Amino acid sequence: MKEKSKSKKRKIINLILIALGVAIASSLGVLFGVFLSYQKGLPKIKNLEDIKPSVVSEVYSDDGRVIGRYFLEKRIILSSKEIPDVVKNAFIAVEDSRFYKHWGVDFYRIMGAIIRNLKHKRIVQGASTITMQLARSLFLTQERTLRRKIQETLLALQIERQYTKEQILTYYLNQIYLGYGNYGVEAAAEFYFGKRAKDLSIDEAALLAGINSSVGRYSPITHPDRAIKRRNFAIKRMFEEGFISKKEYEENIKKPLHIVKKDPYKTNDYIAYFLEEVRKYISKHYGNKVLYQSGLKVYTTVNIEYQKIAYKAVQNGLRAHDKRKGWRYDKENIIAEGKDIETFSLKEWKIPPKKDWITKGVVLSVTRKKAKIKVGDYTAILALKDALWTKKKSLRALIKKGDIIEVKILNINEDKKELTVSLEQEPLTEGALLAIDPHTGEIKAMIGGYSFRRSEFNNAIQARRQPGSTIKPIIYSAALSNGYTPASTFIDEPVTFNNKWTGFQDWSPLNFDEQYRGLCTLRRGIEESRNVITAKLLEAITPELAIKYARRFGITSQLQPYLSLSLGTLEVSLLEMTSAFSVFPNNGIRIKPYFIKKIIDMNGNILYENKMEVNEVISPQVAYQMCSLLHGVVLRGTARKARVLNRTLGGKTGTTDDFTDAWFIGFSPSLTAGVWVGYSIKKSLGYYETGARAALPIWMEFMGKVLKNKPDEKFPVPPNINFVKIDYMTGLLATPICKYVIDEAFIAGTEPQRFCTEEDHLMVNDYYTHGASSHEE
């Protein structure tokens, strides 16, 4: 009986074992089928390095500083050697402490996470390794499903088979999202701390590792208290894993949060126009995908210091012009709009005020001599004496409670939260400044308008305006190249040209001051910008010849062969005119202006490298004569205000009819700069707002600061130039009767042969007094 009983039990056990085996086999088969199902469609991890994440394209100034970036995802790729151990250790301690021990999936951690989550009846711990997180970010979505988790596991196993731990960690630290559009530890380090990843301290590396799990929840910008707790958790984990000492742990958890203050509304307005031209060029020639995702390195010609000086000069010049126009009663009033002053806020107020900043404020109260203005958490005091430019005797005549006005911060009292301010007003005028190295063609500064935030239209490149008298040096260059000298003379007198020369009707040009000088040399003609002299000169050399030279100087506009060309009736860009003037200090050579030196892709391949386009426009001798003539414009002529710079400079003013456009283009021996001022639409700048008044001060501020502390340069004298003492008024060889004698530059063999006499002086109007004439343009 016992044997039968044992046999029966054995059979039952065997049946159970068989059934269990079948069940296990079936389960394994099903599980294998499931894995095959989830494996289907997954990428084969063979060349992870071929996966090209979106990488920031960087733009560099002429001295190698980063001045701008283009990106969809702000990511700066680092090699393993460029990522410091403190960063690697921080992320390993927080995200995957057994990173170097598992093979992509940490089963110990999975079991621990299951137990903890069951105990708390909710998910309190994840089990994804660094490799699994990398697989997810590269190939999968963020959805929380069993299918995605299985796929993530399978991909992690593939990655571990193909790559070393160091490679995986490097890919991971370049890939992760760390908030505010920043991908990877390098971009995040720059954003949060204003430094490179290699320079991060323990507490800074711990913060990045800590916020990684949920940037929105632990953001150091919006949730600093949570960020500190999370950072300290990361520091603790680093200590527990043996990455830092107890002393380092205790020191770092006590540190305050040091985050670079970010103004989400602030842009680099001073260089925005230049960067936009770079962006448009790359987008046009290589496409947006290459521009925004391919990690280009774009080396440009811009000089950061020059650019900042130019930006400030244009801002100051346009504000000065606007103040001459007077106060405008066009200010927004929040009370009239039904808004509450106490709760009202402006985006500018998010950043603490700084001295000399111009910001907006809301008028709280106003008396005749004093107004109180809300500027964020500060109360600003505006005194009548700080609004004198308005020419009003009472502040009540200017502003009222609720007005939003602009003020400039003069002083700050932090204890009382008080500001002392002066009254400002955003100008309606536009302006542009362009600076070119005449010897290389490099654009060193470019300002396209008052503010890129207000208008993206680039007045330095895109706008085409009448240049007024700034066209005259091109006509004079043509004349000097064809037998004329600075001492050649014409009669400055009323004159009428018939329609043969005008193309439509008889034309009588007027001088700016509507006066006439009689006998006049070409030097006086250009220094005083005598319109009649230039018109007669153009008639003598023919408009066709002048157009030929204009083309040589780089003028591409449509040109008509009429005498009105002498007054700048064509339309040109500031870039064209500034480039044209660069011929004079460069010995008659024009180098086509450019702003990009070289473009390199992320693999080090050169996509583009500028090749200078060099053209001889005029001879070195004529170029020197023009430098001398235009230097005279600064010494004695329409730009004599610039004498205060005490530099060897040359240039020419320009003003169009009804004062709609104001120009000044000038140069030192090493830098050429042009300035234009006007409205975005054809409109008068105001009576007597000439090139000398509206544009020249901007140019002077720019050149004065750029050349400060640099030795004065002289225009180099080429061979075959002879200096002869001549009478300034008649252009003849000087004699003792001549009151004003100058050393004039002549090409050898073209010097005057006759001495000046009393009769010659009678040809000059006797009312002319050197340096005291009314000419200004």
Residues 6+ apart with CB under 8 A from 77: 53, 55, 174, 184, 186, 295, 602
- 726: helix, strand or coil: strand
How far is CA 290 from its chain centroid?
21
Task: Kindly state the tokens that stand for 222.
Answer: 């919006």
Of the residues 128, 469, 564, 628, only one is catalytic, namely 469
Q: Is 95 a catalytic residue?
A: yes
Between the alpha carbon of residue 407 and those of residues 204, 437, 458, 678, 720, the distances in Å are 38, 37, 27, 24, 58
Between the alpha carbon of residue 256 and those of residues 223, 229, 247, 679, the distances in Å are 14, 11, 17, 50
Between the alpha carbon of residue 413 and those of residues 379, 409, 421, 491, the distances in Å are 10, 11, 12, 65
Residue 263 dihedral angles phi and psi, to the nearest 5°: -100, 105
Separation of alpha carbons 156 and 128, rounded Å: 10
Between the alpha carbon of residue 63 and those of residues 66, 302, 305, the distances in Å are 9, 9, 11
Separation of alpha carbons 629 and 615, rounded Å: 22
Burial environment of residue 604 by CB neighbours within 10 A (0 to 12, 13 to 18, 19 or more): exposed
- Closest to 478 in 3D by CA, of 576, 529, 533, 550: 550
Q: Is 128 a catalytic residue?
A: no
Question: Would strands 596-600 and 430-436 be described as parallel, antiparallel, or unpaired?
Answer: unpaired
Task: Kindly state the tokens that stand for 534.
Answer: 């230039």
Residue ranges with strand state E in 204-304:
297-300
Separation of alpha carbons 423 and 358, rounded Å: 9
Tokens 């089928």 map to which residue?
33
Of the residues 95, 430, 576, 744, only one is catalytic, namely 95
Separation of alpha carbons 336 and 352, rounded Å: 28
Q: Which helix (H) or strand (E) holds 378?
A: strand 378-383
**Are 205 and 64 spatial neighbours (Cβ–Cβ below 8 Å)?**
no
- 238: helix, strand or coil: helix
Cα atoms in the Cβ-side hemisphere of radius 13 Å centred on 769: 4
Between the alpha carbon of residue 393 and those of residues 311, 370, 390, 398, 420, the distances in Å are 33, 11, 9, 9, 19
Neighbours of 226 (CB within 10 A): 16
Task: Kindly state the tokens that stand for 734.
Answer: 């000087």
- Closest to 476 in 3D by CA, of 253, 663, 276, 630: 630
Task: Kindly state the tokens that stand for 677.
Answer: 């001022």
Report, as residue numbers or ranges, the catalytic residues.
95, 469
